[in-house]
């Protein structure tokens, strides 16, 4: 990638942000779009080249996707992380009359379900990501796998297990009863809900979903997470295959989607982990630097920085000159 134009960056960034969460494969689209446009796009934006700088750019975009997921699910992640640490505390100090380690609530179990479900794709990604990208990161192969992804999604809907379909009906029936009860209590004075009330409703439904998912076995959670390995093939959607696997495990469509999004967060963070860590430390350093310098330059000069440059630059010249 000799350079990246603003137009290329904008298009790739938008496509990455949308298709990462839609079950249509972000990597598949990022492979196909440059090839379909052709010209400099096809040469500059080639994910299959060895040590592809375009791939590094895509990995960087994952950080923004992960941040968006964390912002949307921030309250859920606080509960899940607290559940993880509280489970460790219970392991260290089990309650009297209980087994050595016994999870106490849905947040604790969901935390461990996510951890266990992330391990398979994490291990395979670390070991074979390069081979998968070089072998399957070609536009024609990405197109083939995108078609296969569509078949997987259709098959997931057509051959859903009865338990998954029943779970959808049970959730819908329960919500109808709750809504009817609220309508009777509120009467004609009921007002349309605003954005804040809508988010509160979504959060409450998320809590209900977590309670339902916590009744799923660890084995099913690991199988759902393992399905994400297919997403190493450009054209196969991580969220799509995880949703299909979730419905096959008996989850409702809503719960399968939520679990897929929660599973995507640590995987995406891991992909852009070094960039995220570097960005965080860079931001912290910049914040404290500007805070110090704004006060420093009220009364002081540039002289100390000039001396620093002379010392470090001169010492580096001597050192490099001696070892070259």
Q: Distance between CA atoms of 228 and 245, rounded to whole angstroms?
A: 9
Residue 279's pLDDT is: 80
Tell me the longest C-alpha to C-alpha distance in the chain.
86
d(C-alpha 87, C-alpha 123), whole Å: 24
pLDDT at position 315: 92
Tokens matching residue 38: 């052709």
Rounded mean pLDDT of 160-172? 93
- Per-residue model confidence (pLDDT) at position 154: 96
DSSP state of 188: G
Q: Which two tokens stand for residue 104?
A: 């106490």
* Beta carbons of 103 and 112 less than 8 angstroms apart: yes
Predicted local confidence at residue 1, as pLDDT = 46
Which letter does DSSP use for residue 95 in this model? P
pLDDT of residue 51: 63
3-state secondary structure of 189: helix
Residue with tokens 């852009």: 272
Alpha helices (H) in the chain, listed in sequence order: 6-19, 26-37, 40-44, 53-72, 74-92, 106-136, 139-158, 162-186, 195-213, 218-226, 238-248, 253-271, 273-296, 303-323
Burial of 300 (0-12, 13-18, 19+ CB in 10 A): exposed
DSSP states of 212-260? HHTTS-HHHHHHHHHGGGGGGSTT--HHHHHHHHHHHTT--HHHHHHHH
Q: Convert the pLDDT of each residue in 64-109 to its tens digit.
A: 888 899 999 999 999 999 999 998 876 655 555 555 556 778 999 9
User: What pLDDT, on a 0 to 100 scale, did the predictor assign at position 38?
Assistant: 86
| Predicted local distance difference test score (pLDDT) of residue 100 | 55
For residue 136, pLDDT beyond 90: no
| Average pLDDT of the chain to the nearest whole number | 86
- For 50, phi then psi, to 5°, come to -60, 135
Checking if the pLDDT of 168 tops 60, the result is yes
Comparison of pLDDT for 310 and 61, the residue scoring more: 310
Backbone angles phi, psi at 235, to 5 degrees: 115, -20
pTM, two decimals, is: 0.83
Calculate mean pLDDT across residues 110-120. Answer: 95
Q: pLDDT for 221-257, tens place per residue?
A: 999 999 999 998 889 999 999 999 999 999 999 999 9
Q: What is the mean pLDDT of the segment spanning 308-318? A: 93
Mean pLDDT of 113-141: 85
Over residues 23-45, the mean pLDDT reads 87
**Percent above pLDDT 90 for the chain:** 50
pLDDT of residue 93: 59
pLDDT more than 70, % of the chain? 89
Residue 21 has pLDDT above 60, yes or no: yes
């Amino acid at each position: 990638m000799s350079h990246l134009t603003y137009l290329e960056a904008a298009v790739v960034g938008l496509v990455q942000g949308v298709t990462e969460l839609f079950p249509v494969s972000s990597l598949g689209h990022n492979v196909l779009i440059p090839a379909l446009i052709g010209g400099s796009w096809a040469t500059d934006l080639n994910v299959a080249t060895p040590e592809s700088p375009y791939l590094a750019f895509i990995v960087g975009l994952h950080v923004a996707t992960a941040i968006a997921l964390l912002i949307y699910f921030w309250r859920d992640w606080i509960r899940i992380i607290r559940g993880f640490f509280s489970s460790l505390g219970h392991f260290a100090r089990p309650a009297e009359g209980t087994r050595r380690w016994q999870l106490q609530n849905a947040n604790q179990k969901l935390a461990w379900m996510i951890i266990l479900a992330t391990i398979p794709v994490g291990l395979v990604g670390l070991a074979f990501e390069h081979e998968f990208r070089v072998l399957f990161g070609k536009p024609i192969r990405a197109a083939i796998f995108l078609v296969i992804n569509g078949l997987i999604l259709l098959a997931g809907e057509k051959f859903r297990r009865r338990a998954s379909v029943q779970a959808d009906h049970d959730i819908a029936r329960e919500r109808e009863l709750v809504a009817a009860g609220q309508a009777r209590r509120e009467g004609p004075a009921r007002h349309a809900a605003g954005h804040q009330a809508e988010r509160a409703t979504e959060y409450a439904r998320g809590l209900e979903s977590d309670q339902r998912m916590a009744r799923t076995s660890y084995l099913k959670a690991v199988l759902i997470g393992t399905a994400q390995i297919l997403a190493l093939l450009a054209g196969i959607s991580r969220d799509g295959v995880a949703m299909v696997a979730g419905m096959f495990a008996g989850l409702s469509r809503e719960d399968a989607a939520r679990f897929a999004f929660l599973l995507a967060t640590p995987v995406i963070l891991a992909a852009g982990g070094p960039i995220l860590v570097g960005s965080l430390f860079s931001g912290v350093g910049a914040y404290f630097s500007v805070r110090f310098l704004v006060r420093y330059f009220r009364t002081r000069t540039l002289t100390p920085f000039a001396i620093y440059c002379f010392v470090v630059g001169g010492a580096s010249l001597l050192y490099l000159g001696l070892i070259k």
